[in-house]
Structure 1
């Protein structure tokens, strides 16, 4: 199931494009107009919208979610949990019109990728969280995820899970190691390479391969990448552009190397240990999908409690053991290491879940594409993807 957006079609035009199609201009909401009457004290409930397969489930009954059940038992707050987010832009189109018109969206907590979270923050469509009441977030949030350009200090957002965009390849089938993004263009990989189709997903790693600083990349960096990739598409070096379906191509041997997400590869390795994930020498992208509280949410305090609950190291460890993405709570590593369970202890040592110092030195969080840049960049990138 897709956990990150595949940016295609109308969605690639971004937030402005979706709303313009409705004949309505996006409107900024001042901070003072974002809150509704908080009913948390009277109504012990909240509604939480997430991606599919992005929370722990019971082995015997997948309808049960142990960590959510434990939260309810501890606090008395029931959680209406939905898996309705399959694509960032699609979800934006679903709730955006109401938020733009100052109406509630009947969701107290949502999870979107950080590039989409940037739009919500810039439009003023999400509320600041009360960090004084979130001691676990304040004490345990990974410092490397603390200061995204779109939300310095993480005042409006908190990472749910994080991940790395890098290179996956089948070492046995390829017959050699890959350590650099530039090696994807080697002659023996012609027709056996896939790239991600999403603009926000694909571009940062490719820029890093060209030596660009993705924390402050320029339009020249972007167009240099596009020039290179367009040439590789025309010569049929690149087999195709994918969403998360690169997993099937790599597992079947139809491709030998591809852009990939760290959490997906951990799951692939369980069936094929010859599949490897590499953070390239030039660097890999560290990204997150973050929790947001929409404007006029009626159970803000309850939502803040749930966010803080998932930042308890023991709870974060339980979630990390199930989803296998980069855990945004480094302290959860000790919990897994000391669990007495061999499999969990091994997970604690996996740098794709808990990046070590050497790996962290090669990770960077790309600056997001601004609304002024997005239309022209999406047009160019989608033109290449569609060749």
Structure 2
């Protein structure tokens, strides 16, 4: 299949883009409006209240229980693509999107690209009525975080993908992301990017002390009142489980409660300053937060403007999640969407996207192409994990509806949301 060689962005251009992401609007990174779950959403009529709201699960596409949607891809050369903000490469003047433009030039397929996802729960609220009613959402491709992708797939509201249209995705998907428990073999989804949860610290605020464990965050008296954890349950609890020697992929309710109790002690003793979304970045940059749990993409962007920002991978390991491309049930342009999904697994295209957004690239073998854009990015294991870092990666297991409700309620009480 033809390979696309995108217009190369110079190192200087990329550096300017990264600087812009850490100043002014730059504090508003891809995750600025909360990374994932919208804490308390389940108690506000969120995901696990579907049956209580009288919305039954749709019958799963591809099983013969739900009629396949008519695909208009041959007649209508278009795609409606919904994504998060700051999650696509743009030109210096932000008037064009180079990789999308090149896709259209090659295929003739026009992409209506909309950054209308600010929070998973909020977005799900937009599309749930149409999905539940068996209607087209007006979107052919969406990007949602793994726990929501799992729910949409489980409800039968995602279309099964055609492997024949995804040769690059199948060949180049990193083994780390190849078979999540919620979509074994990636029958319904492919990752847009990976999200690593690490420990970040401001070395000036810690007087040069390295901070590299959750135990240190919760017990070091020199950090008291200057520690941050995340409002995303799976990250804060997952990292605490790892620190306690538990596996986030197979923990029990007793393990979960133990992690909550450990964090509660940190709240009660005022060791923890607060639980945050992306807004930890400003406090960490200033030193008001000395150390915290953080998302790797944010740290890369912060480091571009502040050499005091450091990160550490705990010896116990770290949590990895992903944002994933799905084709919603009844989308009009499934084949076109699959072609676009596959396009972002071509190595030069994947490299250009990774250079811009600075999150974990899920495409195996991208390092050489990324080095042509910026050698420093190619050597950054927060973007291209090496074997040692990959070995420390852990995924938070899928939850049942009952677990999700119970665990979110406990976590919401912990953080006072």
TM-score, normalised relative to structure 1: 0.95
1:162 aligns with 2:194: yes
Q: Distance in 1 between matches of 2:316 and 2:345?
A: 31
Query: For the residues of structure 1 that align with 2:56 and 2:124, how far apart are their CA atoms?
Result: 12
Match of 2:48 in 1: 16
Tell me whether 254-263 or 200-209 shows the greater mean CA deviation: 200-209
Quick one: which of 4, 11, 36 aligns to 1:5? 36
- 1:202 to 2:222 alignment: no
Deviation (angstroms), 1:20: 5.7
Determine the C-alpha separation between the residues in 1 that align with 2:109 and 2:145: 26
- Counterparts of 1:258 and 1:148, CA distance in 2: 27
What residue in structure 2 maps to residue 350 of structure 1? 380
Runs of 4+ in 1 over 3 A off after TM superposition: 9-14
What's the secondary structure of 2:185's corresponding residue? helix
Say which of 301, 304, 311 aligns to 1:277.
311
- The reply on whether 1:378 has 2:411 as its aligned counterpart is no
Aligned residues: 380
Of 292, 313, 317, which aligns to 1:258? 292
The equivalent residue for 2:72 is 39
Query: Which residue pairs with 1:171 in the alignment?
Result: 203
Contact 1:226 1:381 in 2 (8 A): yes
Give the distance between the partners of 1:198 and 1:357, measured in 2 at CA.
Answer: 27
Deviations 1:40-98 (A, max 9, x none): 000000100000010000012x1310000000000000000000000000111110121
For the 8 Å contact 2:69–2:330, the answer to whether it is kept is: yes
Residues 12, 50 of structure 1: alpha-carbon distance in 2 compared, 3 angstrom cutoff:
farther
Q: Is the 8 A contact 2:37 2:121 kept in 1?
A: no
CA distance in 2, matches of 1:12, 1:281: 35
Correspondence 1:229-378 to 2 at 5 A: 229-337=263-371, 339=372, 341=373, 344-378=374-408
117, 123, 128: which one aligns with 1:85: 117
- Structure with the largest fraction of helix: 1
**Kept in 2: contact 1:34–1:125 (CA 8 A):** no
Partner of 1:182: 215
- 1:76 is matched with 108
- Helix, strand or coil for the counterpart of 2:84? coil
SS of alignment partner, residue 316 of structure 1: helix
The answer to whether the Cα contact below 8 Å between 1:181 and 1:282 also exists between their aligned partners in 2 is no
Q: Aligned partners of 1:263 and 1:361: how far apart in 2?
A: 19
What is the RMSD of the two structures over their aligned residues, measured on CA atoms? 1.5
Summarize the alignment of residues 105-116 of structure 1 with structure 2, pairs less than 5 Å apart: 105-116=137-148
Gaps of 5+ in 1: none
TM-score by length of 2: 0.88
8 Å Cα contact 1:35-1:297 kept in structure 2: no
Q: Is the partner of 2:354 in helix, strand or coil? A: helix
The answer on whether the counterparts of 1:285 and 1:363 sit within 8 Å (CA) in structure 2 is: yes
Matching residue of 2:262: 228
Alpha-carbon contact 1:163-1:326 (below 8 Å) kept:
yes
Within 1, Cα distance between the matches of 2:216 and 2:95? 44
1:54 aligns with 2:66: no
Which SS does the other structure have where 1:84 is aligned? strand
8 A contact 1:7–1:199 mirrored in 2: no
**Which residue number in structure 2 is paired with residue 135 of structure 1?**
167
Shift of 1:179: 2.0
Unaligned runs of 5+ in 2: 1-27
Instruction: Classify the secondary structure of the residue corresponding to 2:117.
Output: coil
Q: Secondary structure at the match of 1:260?
A: strand
Structure 2 CA distance for partners of 1:52 and 1:231, relative to 1, 3 Å: same
CA distance in 2, matches of 1:193, 1:361: 27
SS at match of 1:231: helix
Cα distance in 2 for partners of 1:300, 1:86 equals 24
Is the contact between residue 204 and residue 287 of structure 2 (CA under 8 Å) also seen in structure 1?
Answer: no
Distance 1:12 1:160, change over 3 A: farther
